[in-house]
Structures are given as C-alpha cells and as structure tokens.
Chain A
C-alpha cells in the first residue's frame, strides 16, 4: 500500500478528513521551502502538494502565477524541487508529498528519468495538470510501477466517461476542481460539490479531495462534510506574500491550524 493510501485509510478509520496544503517549491525562497513543509505537517497537514514552477502556468490564477514567477527568479527547477523533497524526506518519513505542475519540465527531463528520480527522492504522487488520461497512459503506468500514484483532476464539466477514464489509470486520490476557472478563483458552488462527490466516489473507488476556491475555515468545513480531503493553495500563498519574512511561517501555521480545527469538528464519514 502506498503512503497516500495508508494516510487515507488511517483517517477514514477515525472519521477524519485529510488536509492537503499546496505551496510552490522555491517560493518565496528555496531555503524556506523545507522548513515550510515541516511547519505544514506540524499544523495538521496530512499530505503536501508541492508545486513545480513553470514559465506558462495556464491553469493557474494570478496568485500561483506570481508564486511560480518568484520561484523561477530564484533559480528553481524540477531537479531542484526533487532535491528539496529528498531533504524533507530525510526528516519526515511519513507525510506523502505530491508534485503538482505542468508537462513540459517533465518532458524536458524525460518521463522515465523523472519517475526514477522522483521515486528516489521520496515523491509519493504526481499530478500533471496538462496530462489528461488519454495523453499519459504510458507515463501513468511507469509512475505506478515505481510506487508513485498518478493523480488526476475531475471538474464540474466532467462526464461519467471521464470518471471511468481517470479511475482506470489513476490511483491515490482524485482531485476535484470545485469550480469552472483557474486556481484561487472566487465563487465556490457548494451544492454542485455536494451533488457530484458521492457520484464520483462511487464510480472511481478512490478518496476525493476538493480544491480551487477554498479560502477559510467555514468553506473548508462545508467542503469537508462531503469530501475526503480539502486542498488549499492560493490562500496559503497569499499568507506568505502578505507576511513579513520572519513571520511568514508562523502565520501560515496559524492559518492552517484554524482549518484543521474546523475539519476536526466534522462528525462521521463524508455525506
């Protein structure tokens, strides 16, 4: 069983939700990334999504675009992201790390070389935004064989055929994009999420995390009532942007603890 699967199994046994924060590797500074990852775990994160910066982040809103730009300006690259994961892994053998990014840096390294290097660094899952199932069957198979869960997105626009496509080659969990738009957008449709999640969970046989648009304890709690996991990205990056450097980590911790508390107030399994 993968590290990701065992996290979900453990949480489900105790009726809790997974909290999955997203940060961009190297933002605001590569030296801050590993301490920030440990701080996320101390504040109640169960899985960390680590963004791999890309020059043309088409699916991201302004906040994550800025984070990507800052990280690239500090010389971040896919190779250096893997080094950061290795450093984190030396001290934390339990918390799964999922890399999230775009296809081209992986294509440039070579998909097979990337999978071998990621596995060696201690990466547990990979979510490539612009690798839909039809274009990455071989890549997903290679990743799985190396013990890395290929994680896929589903969206409000996805048909049941798409559920089956991602169920066939994905593993670990499903990332449900809660709105039509880019990361960090405003309007989150709770009713849509509540209606769609039971269908998806029944069809794909995997835990479902929800992200894009969750900004505070209240929206996290409402999503947590129906989802197995809550993903928060842009809001954490804004916290980093708006905090003086020496307080950034502490402020992120306080923000995340608040979310954790809200999630832990939910009783029973997702509806």
Chain B
C-alpha cells in the first residue's frame, strides 16, 4: 500500500486526477461548466452555505447516520467484526440525497429554477425529485426504459414527488443512455437548467463536487469508529458503480495510515462470461461522459453493454478518482457476482433484520468473503449505501415468486 508522504490533494486545478478526469465535453457546455466551477467555489468557501448544507443534512436527511455492529453475522462468519455505516437510514433510503441537497443548494445560488438528473436504480432520481420538491424547483429525470421496467416502485415515487420521468430508448436503455440524454437536455436548456449528476463521474467539477458532498459519510465514520471501537477500521469496503458512496467513505480515509480501501464492482454473471460491469477490474482507460477513466469497451473504442443484477451498478465507466486510486494503489478493486450479492442480501435480512440494496449487497458479500480469513479483532467497515425495498421485485423474480 502506498503511504502518502504529503497530504492527498486531487484533483488539480483543471480537474485531473493524474491522467484521469478532466473536461471532455462539446464546446457548448464549456462555459456552463466554467460557471458551475466558479459558483461551487464560491459556495464551498461560504460559511453560510456550508451551515445551511449541514442544517439540511441534520434535520431533513437525519444525519449523522449510525454505525451498527453486525454482531450475529460476524459471529456466524467467525472472523473479523463487520460494522455497517447505515446510509440506508437516510431520508429517501440511500446516500444519494447527501449530494442532491448540496447540488440543489448550488442550483439555487446560481438562480436555476429547473433541475435534471439521470438515474439507474432510481435512487438518485428519487433523491433529485425529493430535493426539487423541497426547494420548489421543476424536475425532469431521465431513466433507461429497461431500468424503468426493473424499478417500477421508484418511478412511481418520483411521480408522486412531482417529477417528470422521461424514458430513454436509445442504446442499452440503461444508466449510460440516461446520462447521454440528460447531457443533451442540458446543452439545449443551459440558460435555466442545473444538471444534478448523481455520481462522481462527468466533467470537472462534478467528480470533485459530488465527492465533497458525499464525504460527510467518511467524515462521520472518522469520529464514530473510535467512539465505538477505540480505533479506525482495518478495511473500508464499499460497492462501486459510478462510485459515489465509495468515494464518500474513502476520501476522508485516504490520508489515514493502515486503513485498506476496497471497492467492490459488479462481476454480474462472472468475470469470465463478459456479462458484468467491472470497469476497473476488466476495463481500459478511455473517454466517456466528460472524463477520462476506465471503461468497458471493445477494441474499436465502442462502449460495451454491461450487466448487473443491480441497476445502480450497471454502468460501463467509473468515477475518475477511483481510476487514480487504483493506479496509485491507494485503493484496491474486486468483483462480486450477482449470486454472491444475492446471498449476502438474504443473509443480512435473516441475521440482522436489515434489507440492504442490491448495490450495497455487493460490498456486504465481499466483507463476508474476507471476514472468515481474518482474526476476530480485525474490523471491517462496510458502507451500507441504501435500503433494499426498491429491489423486492428483482429478488422475488430471482426466487421464482410473483406478487
């Protein structure tokens, strides 16, 4: 593991994490990104803005989220102790809302009355629709028609919250295509529209801004873990699709020595089947959605359709900061299959009375693999990034149950 001899300070002023990140967009968007960059800079250096952000996180989201010692599950696995950061207990049921509140406040500062968002599992769409209602903004959510089919309950939630959900029929009809379509909307309506990107990807300053808003997760853990266990964890484990919950819990730990950071990607039906969404484990660097990062692509540079049981991980790219953490060896990235994630899902339900999101179940599954091989005094901190109510339909279908 690389031990930093100076504090970690990325991205650089032009939005690069080593060779990754940057601003790879058409000219029309450049002035909008410059404007956003200036606005975000003003906001994060403004104590009143940060105080309002923290107030909202406390009173509207319900932060800080607790850390829970999954004692029965740990005992059964017979090794390291597993602690869960309970982002599933946030208002709207996942970590996504942290970022949405931050960006909605920036949108309000910029005077933009209309917000747009892309969504995969629907969690970011729901969080965006929620904050739009909360701040009195118009909200349009782009969602692949395949994901709309998989996540019907979340689609209805967004509609209840007053958002317009636009089905995207292009490409693989999933998250990446929703992102393409949201970008097209943004470029057309740039004068009055703020694009809330839901993950640590996209052109600068998005990867940095989303990370900063999500870093509240890791910052709370830095305080909570010593209170609960007397020390920081040995491992911090999080699932990685675009990578926002992972970046949020990893970032405050980057300069903490002795803490291993593990990102868990979706290995789908197995890495060797080609049907997965593990861009860091199996991809190569390229340019997509405004940044340079690891991508799942063919030899001609065309983006490959991905597969995961979890819609939120079904994305062929990954945030550029994860690409940098991989190359610099500060974090390690592994894959967990659909089957392994499903087993962890059921185990957590039965043993701890917690229904986790299928995305988070990937991180849980890796913890379950790791724990038995470690001594009982080792500590694994897993980011339980969302609750699994939205996945009832998918899990029931896999178990041959019809409602």
A257 contacts partner chain B, Cβ-Cβ < 8 Å: no
Q: Please give, as numbers and ranges, the residues of chain A lying within 8 Å of B188 by CB-CB distance.
A: 180-182, 185
User: Restricting to B250-304, which residues have a CB under 8 Å from any CB of A?
Assistant: 284-290, 292, 295, 297, 299-303
With A and B bound together, what is the CA distance between A108 and B294 in angstroms?
Answer: 12
Asked whether A58 lies within 8 Å of B27 as measured between CB atoms, the reply is no
B230 contacts partner chain A, Cβ-Cβ < 8 Å: no
Asked whether B171 lies within 8 Å of A61 as measured between CB atoms, the reply is no
User: Restricting to B136-194, which residues have a CB under 8 Å from any CB of A?
Assistant: 170-171, 176-177, 180, 183-184, 187-191
User: Restricting to B29-72, which residues have a CB under 8 Å from any CB of A?
Assistant: 30-32
Shortest B189–chain A CB gap in Å is 8
Shortest A82–chain B CB gap in Å is 12
B26 contacts partner chain A, Cβ-Cβ < 8 Å: yes
With A and B bound together, what is the CA distance between A93 and B188 in angstroms?
Answer: 39
Shortest B31–chain A CB gap in Å is 4
With A and B bound together, what is the CA distance between A256 and B183 in angstroms?
Answer: 31
Interface string of A63-79 (1 = CB under 8 A from B): 00100010010000111
Asked whether A157 lies within 8 Å of B171 as measured between CB atoms, the reply is no
A56 contacts partner chain B, Cβ-Cβ < 8 Å: yes
Interface size on B, residues (CB 8 A): 38
Asked whether B26 lies within 8 Å of A130 as measured between CB atoms, the reply is yes
Most chain B beta-carbon neighbours within 10 Å: one of A65, A103, A157, A162: A157
Q: Of the listed stretches A39-47, A84-92, A147-155, name the one at the interface; the rest are far from the partner chain.
A: A147-155
Among candidates B23, B289, B299, B301, residue contacting A58 with C-beta atoms closer than 8 Å: B289
Asked whether B170 lies within 8 Å of A78 as measured between CB atoms, the reply is no
With A and B bound together, what is the CA distance between A77 and B191 in angstroms?
Answer: 36
Among candidates B23, B32, B285, residue contacting A132 with C-beta atoms closer than 8 Å: B23
Asked whether A158 lies within 8 Å of B27 as measured between CB atoms, the reply is yes
> Which B residues contact A (CB, under 8 angstroms)?
14, 22-28, 30-32, 170-171, 176-177, 180, 183-184, 187-191, 284-290, 292, 295, 297, 299-303
Q: Please give, as numbers and ranges, the residues of chain A lying within 8 Å of B289 by CB-CB distance.
A: 56, 58
Asked whether A130 lies within 8 Å of B297 as measured between CB atoms, the reply is no
Across the A-B interface, give the 8 residue pairs with the lowest CB-CB distance, nearest first: A108-B301, A105-B301, A77-B300, A153-B27, A103-B287, A181-B188, A155-B28, A59-B26
A216 contacts partner chain B, Cβ-Cβ < 8 Å: no
User: Assuming A154-B27, A162-B30, what are 8 further A-B pairs, CB within 8 angstroms?
Assistant: A58-B184, A105-B300, A108-B300, A109-B301, A130-B25, A130-B26, A157-B31, A157-B32
Instruction: Please list 29 pairs of residues, one from A and one from B, whose beta carbons are closer than 8 Å in the complex, sorted by A's number.
Output: A56-B176, A56-B288, A57-B180, A59-B26, A61-B184, A69-B170, A78-B301, A104-B287, A104-B301, A107-B287, A108-B284, A108-B286, A108-B297, A109-B301, A130-B26, A130-B290, A132-B26, A135-B22, A153-B27, A153-B28, A155-B26, A155-B27, A157-B27, A157-B28, A162-B31, A177-B27, A180-B188, A181-B184, A181-B187
Asked whether B297 lies within 8 Å of A153 as measured between CB atoms, the reply is no
Q: Please give, as numbers and ranges, the residues of chain B lying within 8 Å of A154 by CB-CB distance.
A: 27
A54-B302, A108-B300 given as contacts; is B30 within 8 A of A158 (CB)? yes
Q: Please give, as numbers and ranges, the residues of chain B lying within 8 Å of A191 by CB-CB distance.
A: none
Asked whether B286 lies within 8 Å of A58 as measured between CB atoms, the reply is no
Shortest A249–chain B CB gap in Å is 27
Q: Please give, as numbers and ranges, the residues of chain B lying within 8 Å of A2 by CB-CB distance.
A: none
Shortest B281–chain A CB gap in Å is 19
Q: Please give, as numbers and ranges, the residues of chain A lying within 8 Å of B183 by CB-CB distance.
A: 58-59
With A and B bound together, what is the CA distance between A59 and B180 in angstroms?
Answer: 8
Among candidates B24, B28, B170, B297, residue contacting A65 with C-beta atoms closer than 8 Å: B170
Among candidates B190, B287, B288, B300, residue contacting A157 with C-beta atoms closer than 8 Å: B190
Q: Please give, as numbers and ranges, the residues of chain B lying within 8 Å of A134 by CB-CB distance.
A: 14, 23
A255 contacts partner chain B, Cβ-Cβ < 8 Å: no
Asked whether B31 lies within 8 Å of A158 as measured between CB atoms, the reply is yes
Asked whether A58 lies within 8 Å of B180 as measured between CB atoms, the reply is yes
Asked whether B187 lies within 8 Å of A59 as measured between CB atoms, the reply is yes
Q: Please give, as numbers and ranges, the residues of chain B lying within 8 Å of A55 by CB-CB distance.
A: 171, 302-303
Among candidates A56, A72, A132, residue contacting B30 with C-beta atoms closer than 8 Å: A132
Shortest B174–chain A CB gap in Å is 12
Q: Please give, as numbers and ranges, the residues of chain A lying within 8 Å of B286 by CB-CB distance.
A: 103-104, 107-108
Asked whether A106 lies within 8 Å of B28 as measured between CB atoms, the reply is no
Please name the residue on chain A nearest to B300 by beta carbon: A77
Asked whether B26 lies within 8 Å of A180 as measured between CB atoms, the reply is no
A105-B302, A107-B286, A157-B31 given as contacts; is B24 within 8 A of A130 (CB)? yes
User: Restricting to A84-136, which residues have a CB under 8 Å from any CB of B?
Assistant: 102-109, 129-132, 134-135
A130-B290, A182-B188, A185-B188 given as contacts; is B27 within 8 A of A104 (CB)? no
Interface string of A138-162 (1 = CB under 8 A from B): 0000000000000011111111001
Shortest A210–chain B CB gap in Å is 14
Shortest A153–chain B CB gap in Å is 4
Asked whether A72 lies within 8 Å of B302 as measured between CB atoms, the reply is yes
Among candidates A69, A72, A130, residue contacting B287 with C-beta atoms closer than 8 Å: A130
Shortest A235–chain B CB gap in Å is 18
Asked whether B24 lies within 8 Å of A79 as measured between CB atoms, the reply is no
Among candidates B24, B176, B295, residue contacting A135 with C-beta atoms closer than 8 Å: B24
Shortest B272–chain A CB gap in Å is 22
Please name the residue on chain A nearest to B169 by beta carbon: A62
Please name the residue on chain B nearest to A152 by beta carbon: B27
Q: Please give, as numbers and ranges, the residues of chain A lying within 8 Å of B187 by CB-CB distance.
A: 59, 180-182
Q: Please give, as numbers and ranges, the residues of chain B lying within 8 Å of A132 by CB-CB distance.
A: 23-27, 30
Most chain A beta-carbon neighbours within 10 Å: one of B171, B288, B289: B288
With A and B bound together, what is the CA distance between A155 and B24 in angstroms?
Answer: 16
A103-B287, A105-B302, A180-B190 given as contacts; is B184 within 8 A of A131 (CB)? no
Asked whether B26 lies within 8 Å of A104 as measured between CB atoms, the reply is no
